Structure 1
Amino acid sequence: MSKKLEFSLEFFPPATAEGVEKLRGVRTELAALGPEFISVTYGAGGSTRDRTLEVVREIRAAGIDAAPHLSCIGSTQASIRDHLAEFREMGVKRIVALRGDLPSGMADPGEFRYANELVEFIRKETGEEFFLEVASYPEVHPQARSYEADLKAFVNKVNAGANSSITQYFYNADAYFTFCDAAREAGVRIPIVPGIMPIASFSKLARFSESCGAEIPQWMRRKFEGFGDDAESVRAFGLDVVTGLCERLIAGGAPSLHFYTLNQTALTRELCQRLGLA
């Protein structure tokens, strides 16, 4: 009997007391599906540091592996060292190591410019203590000069000591497989895990995709636009699209799946059940 495919989840730290309480319910319900780990995002320049750590504490207290995001842009070696000490004290074993975005109005990028420098620093400070996830971009990072430059940046992170990678979300499976082939040709041997974005609202997805460089195929865009304000049709079609994408990724050998839950339960739960992951 083949081993069930692993999957992981991502949450963001809520800004309000109501959001915190809602996330507790979401976390409890989705944790029952059996994720390998849950990652928690981290605001630009560490702007959500305390809230991120609080969510991580609650996840770990529930007996689930939690992976805090850690972005280095605008940081110093001393501040990153402090973060690592906090993670160690909390019993964290997995970190999502990112460059991150420079906060609005801040001109100084700090002592780190790129994520590979963060990975290298963590390895120098802590050896193999932490399992390090890094980001990858099948459709190219929006700030990259070229496909080749973006691939080189990814290889640099791997060579610095990354253990695994989670991709930006995408809806074109060929982009993922092409990227994986290129990475393997460049010597990358770590898992490249597809990031999966469920579709709750097409208008919100379209706005976000423009900023992060994720392509929405024209046939999908036209179909969604044809639904207008019919939220139920958008939801049903979105579930079918993402289910089909995941099925193709699994059939093509994806090592696991990482769901960007947006702190919502229904769509991620439905996808996991359709795919037999729950």
Structure 2
Amino acid sequence: MTAPDTLRPSRLPGAPIRVSFEFFPPKSAEAEAALWRSIERLAPLDPDFVSVTYGAGGSTRERTHNTVARLVRETRLKPAAHLTCVGATRREIDDVVRGYRDAGVRHVVALRGDPAGGPGTAYEAHPGGYDSSADLVRGIRALGDFEVSVSAYPEKHPESSSFDADIDGLAAKVDAGATRAITQFFFDNSLYARYVERVRARGIDIPIIPGIAVIQNFKQTANFARKTGASVPDWLADRFAGLESDPATHQLVAAGVAAEQVLDLVDQGVRDFHFYTMNRAELVYAICRLLGLKPEGERAAAA
């Protein structure tokens, strides 16, 4: 039996595929063990980097730093630490950046952060803090030779008045020294393609890496999408309808959806992908295998 067209290696010509993974810091000893099992599962795929998120208002600051520092000490992975403007003065944030620098971290994901009052409230800069993500990028670059990734929104940031205003914000971050943008997740690849066209037309030439959500729980993903302004197509909801109590089938459908999305993006020339793992490795690992990625030992044996 021949492989379906969607899975043939001939769909993966040209430059090599590169991936990166996002994790969040654990809240308990059990969660920490699960996180490191996921990291150990995905590490052999040789990701370009792995990022560790930063809770609202800096609520996970210490746990984020501890996770990133352990990645530096115990693995060969290149960690990227998330950092936001919310809930801290410039001096406090600069101290965090210096702490990362001293720990050997050379990549920061710089984000404005959610409003302190929660969804639906207006963002206000912390007194004495950084005013915006562009301001934060500038501050980080002043403290060391950091690679700085920033966010991008194929369906525009929910607080932006227009796509032009949204891309103005991205341009400001690039002018401040951002070296890469990672998108909010999306499920319609045409949204990403149109967004990249708009960005390139503006003269922005940094990499725009698609953020890929592998749907571990459809209800949770759909709720989060609504909060962040990402659309959930009807066809996607239909695929998961009735699977709330059928986790095995849910997993298979989720793998199929993500595989379709990333392979279609490969056909469009995309070679870099950032996966939101939710600290769970199996589905992400399977999708990476479909992209042709293998652990180093398997690559050597096939050579």
TM interval, shorter chain, is over 0.9
Are 1:268 and 2:281 matched, yes or no?
no
* Distance in 2 of aligned mates of 1:63 and 1:70: 22
* Distance in 1 of aligned mates of 2:37 and 2:243: 31
Alignment coverage as a number of residue pairs: 276
* One-letter code aligned to 2:81: P
Contact kept, 8 Å, 2:98 with 2:143, in 1: the verdict is: no
* One-letter code aligned to 1:154: L
Q: How big is the shift at 1:144? A: 1.5
* One-letter code aligned to 1:185: A
* Distance in 2 of aligned mates of 1:192 and 1:20: 31
Contact kept, 8 Å, 1:72 with 1:112, in 2: the verdict is: yes
* One-letter code aligned to 1:113: D
Contact kept, 8 Å, 2:25 with 2:53, in 1: the verdict is: yes
Q: How big is the shift at 1:108? A: 5.6
Q: How big is the shift at 1:87? A: 1.1
Q: How big is the shift at 1:260? A: 0.4
Change (3 A) 1:70 1:33: same
Q: After superposition, give the CA deviation of every residue in 1:27-55 in whole Å (9 maximum; x if it has no partner).
A: 11111221111100001121101100111
Choose the corresponding residue for 1:57, options 69, 74, 78.
69
* Distance in 1 of aligned mates of 2:201 and 2:124: 36
* Distance in 2 of aligned mates of 1:47 and 1:150: 27
Q: How big is the shift at 1:4? A: 2.1
Instruction: Give the unaligned 5+ runs of structure 1.
Output: none
Are 1:22 and 2:34 matched, yes or no?
yes
Identity %: 37
2:194 aligned residue: 178
Q: How big is the shift at 1:60? A: 1.3
* Distance in 2 of aligned mates of 1:72 and 1:48: 14
Choose the corresponding residue for 2:140, options 107, 122, 125.
122
* Distance in 2 of aligned mates of 1:269 and 1:214: 24
* One-letter code aligned to 1:125: L
1:8 aligned residue: 20
* One-letter code aligned to 2:233: P
Choose the corresponding residue for 2:262, options 239, 242, 246.
246
* One-letter code aligned to 1:91: G
* Distance in 2 of aligned mates of 1:156 and 1:48: 27
* One-letter code aligned to 1:159: D
Instruction: Give the unaligned 5+ runs of structure 2.
Output: 1-12, 295-303
1:201 aligned residue: 217
Contact kept, 8 Å, 2:50 with 2:79, in 1: the verdict is: yes
2:184 aligned residue: 168
**1:32 aligned counterpart, secondary structure:** helix
1:92 aligned residue: 105
* Distance in 2 of aligned mates of 1:255 and 1:4: 7
TM-score (norm 2): 0.86
Are 1:220 and 2:233 matched, yes or no?
no
Moved over 3 A (4+): 102-108
The 10-residue stretch of structure 1 (38-47 or 107-116) with the greater mean CA deviation from structure 2: 107-116
Are 1:154 and 2:155 matched, yes or no?
no
Computed over aligned residues only, the root mean square deviation of the Cα atoms, in angstroms, reads 1.8
* One-letter code aligned to 1:63: R
Q: How big is the shift at 1:199? A: 1.1
Q: How big is the shift at 1:101? A: 1.4
* Distance in 1 of aligned mates of 2:241 and 2:194: 29
Choose the corresponding residue for 1:73, options 74, 86, 89.
86
Q: How big is the shift at 1:131? A: 0.4
**1:264 aligned counterpart, secondary structure:** coil
Change (3 A) 1:218 1:74: same
The 10-residue stretch of structure 1 (117-126 or 164-173) with the greater mean CA deviation from structure 2: 117-126
**2:184 aligned counterpart, secondary structure:** strand
* Distance in 2 of aligned mates of 1:118 and 1:103: 17
